Chains A and B, each alone.
Chain A
Amino acid sequence: MFRWFNAPATETQVTHGQRLWLYVFAVITMVLLVTPTLIVVPMSFSDSQYLEFPPETWSTRWYDHYFGSPEWMQATRTSFKAAFLTMLVATPIGVLAAYGLHCSKVRFIRAAFVLMITPMMVPVVLVAIGAFYAYVQLKILYTMTGLVLAHTVLALPLVVIVTGSALKSYDMSQEEAARSLGAPRWKAFLTVTLPQIRFAVVTSALLAFLTSFDEVVVAMFVSGGDNPTLTRNMFNALRDQIDPTIASISTIMILVTTGMMVLAQLFGQQKEPSKPKD
Chain B
Amino acid sequence: MTDRTSEALPISVRNITKTYGRVHALDDVSLEVRSGEFLTLLGPSGSGKTTLLMVLAGFTRPDCGSLKFGDREVIRTPPHLRDVGMTFQSYALFPHMTVAGNVGYPLRLRKVPKAEIVRRVEAALETVQLGGFGDRRIDQLSGGQRQRVAVARAIVFEPRILLMDEPLSALDKKLRDQMQIELRHLHEKLGMTTVYVTHDQREALTMSDRIAVVNHGRIMQLATPRDLYERPANRFVADFIGESTFLPVSRSGKDVLYDGQRLLCEVPQIETDNLLLMVRPERVVLSREGPRDGVNNFAATATEVVYQGDSFLLHADLPGGGQMVLRGAMRGANVTALPAVGESLTLCLAPEDTVLIDGSER
Contacts and interface: CB of A to CB of B under 8 A. Distances in A.
Interface of A: 171, 173-174, 176-185, 187-188, 191-192, 195-196, 273-274, 276-278
A184 B81 CA distance: 8
Nearest to A192: B94
Given A176-B59, A278-B172, A182 B88 contact: no
B180 to A, nearest CB: 17
Nearest to B81: A182
Given A183-B109, A276-B142, A171 B90 contact: yes
13 contacts: A171-B90, A177-B86, A179-B80, A180-B58, A180-B86, A180-B154, A181-B86, A181-B153, A181-B154, A183-B105, A276-B143, A276-B145, A277-B141
B110 interface: yes
Given A182-B83, A182-B106, A182-B157, A177 B143 contact: no
Q: Which 4 A-B pairs have the closest CB atoms?
A: A177-B92, A274-B139, A181-B106, A276-B143
B283 interface: no
A22 to B, nearest CB: 42
Secondary structure dominating the interface of A: helix
A140 B11 CA distance: 61
Contact of B96 (A180, A183, A195): A195
Interface residues of B, number: 38
B278 interface: no
Interface in B150-178: 153-154, 157, 163, 172, 175
Contact of B92 (A174, A183, A185): A174
A278 B86 CA distance: 23
Contacts of B94: 174, 177-178, 192
B142 A182 contact: no
Contacts of B109: 181-183, 187
Given A179-B78, A277-B141, 11 more contacts: A173-B90, A176-B59, A178-B105, A179-B79, A180-B58, A180-B84, A180-B86, A182-B81, A183-B80, A274-B138, A278-B143
Interface in B161-218: 163, 172, 175
A230 B95 CA distance: 43
A191 B86 CA distance: 18
A180 to B, nearest CB: 4
B79 A176 contact: yes
Contact of B141 (A179, A181, A276): A276
A188 B58 CA distance: 15
